[in-house]
Amino acid sequence: MDNREEKEVIVHRSKSHRLATFIVLSGVVAVLLVFVSMALYVTSGAEQLDLSRPGLAKVREQVQTDDQTVESFSSDGTLDQNSLSEFADKYDKAAAQINKVKAFSDDPLSPASLQIDAKSANTNTTLGG
């Protein structure tokens, strides 16, 4: 066999095994990405925050939930002037909270804008007051 025939044989074999090669390489890439993501999960400290793990059932029981909830408007009852004014008051309070966020500011997704920083968590626990 000369060089040309060998190349043709190699090309023919590679064409006939393209699908199998693609599947194997896809699996290898997926496994590598899982290893990288798990390494990031462990090294970033997110593993310590994940309370859904089976070994942390006792810790889950100790987590204190915030008793203050968002004040909502009742969907049943009579529709009179008092209920309309109550709804308007609650709506205005919620709208005022929303309008505090500057949507076109430099960082609309900052913890302070999203009200997930420590200061906002202590002062803005409810929308309704």
Residues 57 and 87 sit within 8 Å (Cβ to Cβ): no
Specify if 8 maps to a domain: yes
Structure tokens that stand for 56 in this block? 């942390």
Is the domain of 54 the same as that of 93? no
Is the domain of 92 the same as that of 48? no
Specify if 129 maps to a domain: no
Specify if 87 maps to a domain: yes
Is the domain of 8 the same as that of 58? yes
Domain count, the chain: 2
- pLDDT string in tens for the chain (129-residue length): 577 888 888 878 777 788 888 999 999 999 999 999 999 988 887 776 676 777 777 776 776 665 555 667 777 878 889 888 988 998 888 888 777 766 676 776 777 777 777 766 565 554 444
Q: Give the torsion sign (CA, 17, 19, 20, 22).
A: positive
Range of the domain at 105: 81-123
Using CA atoms, how far residue 91 sits from 28, 30, 75, 79, 112, in Å, is 53, 48, 14, 16, 22
Is the domain of 56 the same as that of 87? no
Is the domain of 50 the same as that of 11? yes
